[in-house]
Amino acid sequence: MKVVHIETLIEKGLFASSKEWESLKQGIIEEIQEVDWPPGSGKFTIYPESGKRRGEGNGVKPIKDTFVKRLIVKGWEAEKPLDIASRKKPGNLDLVLDYKDKKIVIEWETGNISSSHRAINKIALGLIKGIVSAGILVIPSRNLYKYLTDRIGNFDEIEPYTDLWKALNLDSGILMIIVIEHDAESKDVPRIPKGTDGRALN
């Protein structure tokens, strides 16, 4: 899988400028690049079919699941709750790493654009409260989006709002968006299966 863009919303403080964070960030990028389809092929080839019609296009959850499994092996925890809200707890975070006295979190987008906003806001709230040290949202590019479940969150739709998160008044913290894309297109590969929970069939 290709990483085609990294949008840095916040990168402040000693940890943000450390070699430790640079190594952690590079490791995350490398794990994203190792995600392949079909499994074991060594590259990510998408079946080029629009996901606008029911039963067509490609699902997204198997892509995320492959990445999650890779990071669990390296000590990350999946679907972990964090108490970052004062009234109602937001949903679990996809991946959390306890690194020394810090928490690194990753959200891999499998929902619509509203889900993308919630994911970034969840991480941003964790940064504001000092619970999260660094957070990353992984999201499809427009080129990949068109072959996935209809209305899946994508970078083109969330990009106009990035100045909002960049304006957060924080002395330290890391918040970034990593934009992913397929390596190739081919009708010789199978479609990525879609889930069956909810109307989105993701």
Bridging pattern class, strands 2-12 and 45-46:
unpaired
Q: Find the distance separating the first CA and the last CA of the chain, reported in whole Å.
A: 19
Do the Cβ atoms of 148 and 57 come closer than 8 Å? Answer: yes
Domains and CATH numbers, the chain: 2-185 (3.40.91.20)
Q: Which of these is catalytic: 109, 159, 181, 185?
A: 109
Burial 173-191 (b: 16+ CB within 10 A, else e): bbbbbbbbbbeeeeeebeb
* Residue 195 pLDDT: 64
DSSP at 112: B
Q: Which residue has the tokens 């899988």?
A: 1
**AA letter at 133:** S
3-state SS class at 140: strand
Token digits of residue 80 = 């972990």
Strand partners for 44: 37
34 has catalytic annotation? no
* Residue 56 pLDDT: 87
Q: One digit per residue, pLDDT tens: the chain, 202 residues?
A: 999 999 999 999 999 999 999 999 999 999 999 999 999 999 999 999 998 877 789 999 999 999 999 999 999 999 988 777 656 666 789 999 999 999 999 999 998 999 999 999 999 999 999 999 999 999 999 999 999 988 889 999 999 999 999 999 999 999 999 999 999 999 999 999 986 433 333 4
3-state SS class at 82: coil
**Whole-number Å distance between alpha carbons of 20 and 17:** 9
Cα dihedral across residues 145, 157, 111, 133: positive or negative: positive
